[in-house]
Amino acid sequence: MASLEQRARAELPDAHSFLFFDGSCKVLASSFKANPAELKPLVAVLGDRAAAVRSGMVVDGHRYEVHRHHPPLVYGRTMGAHDPEDSVGAALCAVADATATGQPCYGFITYRMPNLSARMVPLLEAFCERHLRPAADGVS
């Protein structure tokens, strides 16, 4: 059976980077070395909208402005100083009661132009539902 990282690489080829972690902030799969100190603040953007817009999403030392706040989905972009084509999109998806222990799990991706949130967010959401939520028969 393919690992979560292998599945993400195969099914999310247009994601520039990805990160999947559980409610205890244990990294399940990542395409980069995730900073554990960034994970709780990342989950917090799913809470209060005004706070999320103020704080943005900070992952791997990069800040992504929150443009859409629709929990369990939050997404936005970097704010390129000169060329909007250089901006990088980011999306966070939460899956409640995703693991056998009932913990939530989270998926985060970044994507570069020409990939847009309208395409990438549904791909992330579908991936998270397929691979982070346990199957009814116990097989994922």
Q: What is the pLDDT of residues 43-60, one digit of tens each?
A: 999 999 999 999 999 999
Give 137's pLDDT tier (boundaries 50, 70, 90).
very low
Contacts of 18 (CB under 8 A, 6+ apart): 8, 12, 29, 30, 31, 107, 108, 109, 110
Task: Parse the chain into domains and list their residue ranges.
Answer: 4-131
Number of neighbours of residue 4 by Cβ within 10 angstroms: 18
How far is it, in rounded angstroms, from Cα 38 to Cα 23? 13
pTM of the model: 0.92
Look at the alpha carbons of 16, 28, 134, 93 in this order and tell me if their dihedral is positive or negative.
negative
Which homologous superfamily does the CATH classification assign to the domain defined by 4-131?
Dynein light chain 2a, cytoplasmic (3.30.450.30)
